[in-house]
């Protein structure tokens, strides 16, 4: 529901008219994005049908600004389908970031992890079906044995089992989701979904997407202390982390933001 024109129309409602030229529409949307006017972007909504591993879904659902209806394993039997990462996405725990990844695992270690993931997921699913005593069509596997309730049997499934949901969200909140989940620091598995969502947004609202890419996705926000340090640098002062007023992490973020693109 809605498009670039709906954003412009909402912004211009107090005038009782819309803009007359495409260039004016693009310019207004850029202004709205630059100055963080949110309500015009709420005039656009989109609904996705998403299939995703349960552990990604639990991270995704942290964004509570959408309407969600998920496939229910209380009523239905989940498919025998699991997410097994490619070996290049298997990494050790980061030593500097408690929620991040470190060095990529080497060949034998990666192969063993992949074996365990596939073996555990398959075994647990087999036990899930055994406890249910139920075929996909609802008929009993063993007519002489009573199966466990679906709502109980599901607890045995691994978190890489796929679920699915309908996810409906307005454009303003979708942009917030994407600013976090399409970021290079986001977990790879949810970032892969965010990258696809970006493509759908670009096709749907190209002016709004261009403004989002310019002012949010490819931008960096300076704190007051960062801005003060930058002004001192531009004035010719040799600013260090110790004299900047920034802690070590903030200083590294500032240095990274100011690093030449080709560096």
Token readout for 215 is 């002012």
Beta-strand pair 101-104/162-170:
unpaired
Of residues 74, 150, 181, 231, which has the active-site annotation? 181
Which residue is listed with tokens 């500032």? 254
- 181 is a catalytic site residue: yes
The set of catalytic residues is 181
């Amino acid at each position: 529901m809605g498009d670039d024109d709906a954003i412009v129309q909402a912004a211009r409602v107090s005038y009782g008219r819309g803009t007359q030229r495409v260039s004016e529409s693009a310019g207004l949307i850029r202004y709205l994005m630059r100055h963080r006017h949110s309500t015009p972007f709420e005039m656009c909504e989109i609904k996705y049908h998403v299939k995703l591993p349960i552990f990604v879904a639990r991270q995704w659902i942290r964004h509570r600004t959408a309407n969600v209806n998920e496939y229910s394993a209380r009523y239905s039997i989940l498919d025998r389908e699991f997410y097994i990462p490619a070996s290049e996405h298997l990494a050790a725990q980061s030593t500097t970031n408690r929620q991040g990844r470190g060095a990529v695992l080497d060949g034998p270690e990666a192969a063993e992890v992949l074996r365990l993931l596939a073996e555990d997921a398959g075994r647990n699913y087999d036990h899930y079906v055994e406890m249910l005593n139920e075929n996909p069509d609802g008929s009993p596997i063993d007519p002489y044995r009573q199966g466990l309730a679906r709502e109980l049997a599901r607890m045995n499934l691994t978190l890489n089992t796929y679920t699915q949901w309908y996810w409906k969200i307005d454009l303003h909140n979708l942009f917030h989701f994407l600013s976090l989940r399409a970021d290079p620091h986001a977990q790879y598995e949810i970032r892969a979904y965010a990258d696809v969502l970006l493509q759908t947004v670009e096709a749907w609202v190209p002016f709004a997407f261009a403004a989002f890419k310019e002012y949010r996705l490819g931008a960096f926000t300076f704190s007051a202390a960062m801005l003060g340090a930058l002004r001192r640098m531009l004035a010719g002062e040799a600013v260090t982390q110790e004299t900047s007023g920034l802690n070590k992490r903030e200083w590294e973020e500032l240095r990274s933001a100011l690093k030449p693109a080709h560096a």
